[in-house]
Amino acid sequence: EAQVTQNPRYLITVTGKKLTVTCSQNMNHEYMSWYRQDPGLGLRQIYYSMNVEVTDKGDVPEGYKVSRKEKRNFPLILESPSPNQTSLYFCASRPPGLAAYEQYFGPGTRLTVT
């Protein structure tokens, strides 16, 4: 089954404790992206990757890091989480190019930073 998976689905952590949220897709998509969803703000893009070893900042990259060492995986790293990073996070993937391909979203990771 074609899908985007994220782990963990739920995470409660404390300020400053490094964490990684994994994202994996099995559709051989080149483009992957991370979003955060907050009430009243919709989804905001954190980082995106056009291909292996190619990443770029989205609209809200502060406090986050990413890496893209293989096509299928795109982990999101919070080196020193803070309470304002409490949010619902989504990973997504799609084929590249100018055609209007839809994005395929993972199920989401709900992160709480205390």
Q: Which two tokens stand for residue 66?
A: 């990413």
CB of 83: closest distance to another protein in angstroms? 22
Residue with smaller CB distance to another protein, 48 or 85: 48
In angstroms, the CA 44 to CA 32 distance is: 14
Residue with smaller CB distance to another protein, 62 or 99: 99
CB of 6: closest distance to another protein in angstroms? 9
In angstroms, the CA 67 to CA 8 distance is: 18
CB of 37: closest distance to another protein in angstroms? 8
Residue with smaller CB distance to another protein, 17 or 25: 25
**Residue ranges binding another protein (CB under 8 A):** 4, 31, 33, 35, 40-45, 48, 50, 56, 58, 90, 92, 96-100, 102-103, 105-108
Beta-strand relationship, 4-7 and 104-105: unpaired
Residues 6+ apart with CB under 8 A from 35: 43, 44, 45, 46, 58, 89, 90, 91, 92
